[in-house]
A and B are shown apart, each in its own frame.
Chain A
Amino acid sequence: MTPVFEVRALRKSFGGLPVSDNISLSLAAGDRVALIGPNGAGKTTFVDIAAGNLKPDSGEVLLGGEQVTRLSPAERVRRGLVRSFQVTRLFHDMTPAEHVAMAILQREGRAGRMLGNYLDMPEVMREAMEAFAMLGIDDLAHRKVREIAYGQQRLLELAIALVLKPRVLLLDEPGAGVPQSDTARLKAALAALPADLAVLMIEHDMDLVFHFAKRVVVLAAGAIIFDGAPAAATTDARVREAYLGSYADAGRVA
């Protein structure tokens, strides 16, 4: 079976410093992969290249067997490759309902319609409300984003990604900035993701990683040093070396 998402021999350096060093990786439908590694390992760069926000020096990105290396981020999204951002990127003067409605209409190819208004589209608003209810932010649907807490903005980012109905979802630290009180919601939302969706998640919260991932990929200095089961990652000598023990211990505690 062709993997739904694949990168081959990806290389990228910033002024002589390799940040992606011959990365090859593939995801099958339904995969739950955590991409971990110390700060500066090149995790976000990897997502930037995969999503098309950054051009690789060499290597290929494939989506369902199709070459997307030269496609724009928007074209990749339309083919089912959706990402979230490490730091929220939202429109501060708009409401969550408007964000999600925009994404729903874009998915349906109607985002450029010049008549009507999101609020007068009951089927769009209903779908938006369902997405919010799942994430527990339905009471904020009509508040301006600048008025809602950062942790809830993180959940809104997830809602936007989900209503795009992706085949492959790249989550860049979905847990960063989500307060302890909301992590249960985030875990539940991640657990409720469609079964056939391939997910790759960058995350520093090891509790979330071990809760979610069936497979862990460890990146250090731009190269993959481990790819396997989560339990094996905590005992792998190279992973321990990369982290100087700190995260391996955290894993045992979790």
Chain B
Amino acid sequence: MSPALDEMPLAKGSRSLRSDLIGIAALLALAALGFLLFPDNLALLTRIIAIALLVLSVDLVTGICGVATLGQAALFGAGAYAAGIGAAHYGITDPLLMVLAGIAGGAIAGLICGIVILRAHGLPQLVLSIALIHLFHELANKTTSWTGGSDGLSGISPGPLLDMFTFDLWGRTAYVFAVVLLIAVFILLRILVRSPFGMLCRGIREDPVRVRAMGASPHATLVKMYVISGAVAGVGGALSAITTQVVGLDSLSFTLSAEALVMLVLGGAGSLYGALAGTVIFMLFEDFVSAANPFHWLTMVGALLVAVVLFAPKGLYGTAEDLLLRWKGKAP
């Protein structure tokens, strides 16, 4: 065997690591830019990050594994209620513990949803996911003594972060906390999707029969991914509970599930970067257009989506990546 062949794989591995470092640096730069440009709107930026975590969790099961779901908010809401109930009823107000509660709540919801949804394929799978989000919604609606029902769960007052930083009126602590959580989750997920487990999941999306013929069990792998996805969505839910100090039934809604999927398609599925891009663009666009034209903003959001799906089917990030690669390929 030639020595060149021995060296090539390692070089390739470190190159993709470098592109990840660049991606994370860009993420940090954007977060700082947001802080400087919109100091009065940090609550919106924090909300974007919480939703971005939800969209990342959709990308894990839909983009990476090919599982169709319109019920992902069940995992997000479970995380939000777990953190919120812990704080409001049991006095667990340390923000980090609340995040842990959110991770646990999301992961358990992920396990339940995964086991149910993965029984079916294709359209029945999609219908099961819709049924689940409605069941979760009803459960939260009926158990009013725990969740506050349709009034929402209030009385969440998170303590200072690390016993040092109180959550201030301007949302600075909340924003920095959100950015740190997002970056940490994002780094872990990039490691996950590059790992053998991540490759196995991509394999299952393309051809489960081939994966079985290698001796691997697609079902067990996908259930694991659903639990991880639940943990990620749970972080988003907990973040939302901590920073808004209220959890409403809308966090367990079909609408939120569908919007999360739309944001993923807008940004481009399967890369994780697309999930972030889609969330930021969708929510900023929504905010900007609804302020500029409160009567027709939904029309414009719809038009943007139609344009992207027709002319950039790989999503905004996926299309940009393609263009960049083509441009690089032409350059000497």
A-B contact pairs, 16 of them (CB 8 A): A53-B209, A53-B212, A78-B215, A82-B215, A85-B210, A91-B210, A94-B203, A101-B196, A102-B199, A102-B200, A112-B196, A114-B198, A115-B191, A117-B196, A119-B13, A120-B10
Q: Mark B184-209, 1 if CB is under 8 A from A, else 0.
A: 00000001101111111011001101
The answer to whether B214 and A103 touch across the interface, beta carbons within 8 angstroms, is: yes
On chain B, the residues within 8 Å of A106 by CB distance are 214-216
B17's closest neighbor in chain A, by CB? Answer: A117
The answer to whether A115 and B210 touch across the interface, beta carbons within 8 angstroms, is: no
The answer to whether A113 and B214 touch across the interface, beta carbons within 8 angstroms, is: no
A: contact size bracket? 35 or more
The smallest beta-carbon distance between A90 and chain B, in angstroms, is: 7
Given A89-B207, A112-B224, check contact A117 B214 (CB 8 Å). no
Which stretch from B1-9, B44-52, B119-127, B290-298 is at the chain A interface? Answer: B1-9
The answer to whether A102 and B192 touch across the interface, beta carbons within 8 angstroms, is: no
The answer to whether B13 and A72 touch across the interface, beta carbons within 8 angstroms, is: no
B194's closest neighbor in chain A, by CB? Answer: A117
The answer to whether B210 and A89 touch across the interface, beta carbons within 8 angstroms, is: yes
The smallest beta-carbon distance between A157 and chain B, in angstroms, is: 9
Complex Cα–Cα for A153 and B9 (A)? 20
Q: Which of A74, A78, A90, A110 has the most chain B CB atoms inside 10 A of its CB? A: A74
When the two chains form the complex, which single residue of B1, B200, B212 contacts A111, counting CB atoms closer than 8 Å?
A: B200
Q: Which of B195, B213, B216 has the most chain A CB atoms inside 10 A of its CB? A: B213
The answer to whether B212 and A91 touch across the interface, beta carbons within 8 angstroms, is: no
Q: Mark B211-227, 1 if CB is under 8 A from A, else 0.
A: 11111110001001000
The answer to whether B207 and A90 touch across the interface, beta carbons within 8 angstroms, is: yes
The answer to whether A72 and B195 touch across the interface, beta carbons within 8 angstroms, is: no
Q: Does B12 contact A (CB under 8 A)?
A: yes
Q: Which of B200, B209, B214 has the most chain A CB atoms inside 10 A of its CB? A: B214
The smallest beta-carbon distance between B330 and chain A, in angstroms, is: 18
Number of residues from B at the complex interface, CB < 8 A: 33
Mark B residues whose CB is within 8 Å of A: 1, 5-6, 8-10, 12-13, 16, 191-192, 194-200, 202-203, 206-207, 209-217, 221, 224
On chain A, the residues within 8 Å of B194 by CB distance are 117
The answer to whether A92 and B206 touch across the interface, beta carbons within 8 angstroms, is: yes
The smallest beta-carbon distance between A131 and chain B, in angstroms, is: 12
Q: Does A57 contact B (CB under 8 A)?
A: no
On chain B, the residues within 8 Å of A141 by CB distance are 5
Complex Cα–Cα for A170 and B200 (A)? 23
Q: Does A155 contact B (CB under 8 A)?
A: no
On chain A, the residues within 8 Å of B200 by CB distance are 102, 111-112
The smallest beta-carbon distance between B125 and chain A, in angstroms, is: 20
When the two chains form the complex, which single residue of B1, B8, B214, B221 contacts A133, counting CB atoms closer than 8 Å?
A: B1
Q: Does A118 contact B (CB under 8 A)?
A: yes
B13's closest neighbor in chain A, by CB? Answer: A119
